[in-house]
Structure 1
Amino acid sequence: MKPDGPAIRRVRKAQNMSLRMLQELTGLNRGYLSRMERGHIRTSDDERVRTIANALQVKPAAITQEE
């Protein structure tokens, strides 16, 4: 899946969630999440994207780009 970093950031901020909280909910490294939000990570395995979507309580399609 191709994560849409800016969409992840928008959803996270709309929920008043810090990057640290997203890290705690997903178990993913905060630096990794930050790089993803900034668009430095353009592909990720499906499981990581689903984990982020679950933590944000959105469908994966809300935080991914069409391939």
Structure 2
Amino acid sequence: MSLRALQQKTGLDRGYLSRMERGHIQEPADTPLQQVAAALRVTTDAITHKEKT
């Protein structure tokens, strides 16, 4: 999915999404992270690569 499409689905700024994608935002806030996960139809764990323990 392109950043433009993700921006349209989430309403988040494309620059913010780009920084998130490149790892420049180490700890994104929960709400934007949940919006991105919902738009991509994945869990937030899949985006952050956090493993459940």
TM-score range, shorter chain: 0.7 to 0.9
Q: By how many angstroms is 1:64 displaced?
A: 1.1
Per-residue CA distance 1:29-64 (angstroms, 9 max, x = gap): 000100111111111111111110000000111001
Q: Distance in 1 between matches of 2:28 and 2:22?
A: 14
Normalized per residue, the structure richer in strand is 1
What is the root-mean-square deviation of aligned Cα atoms in Å?
A: 1.0
Structure 2 gaps of 5+ residues are none
Kindly, what percent of the aligned residue pairs are identical? 58
Q: Runs of 4 or more off by more than 2 Å in structure 1?
A: none
TM-score (norm 2): 0.85
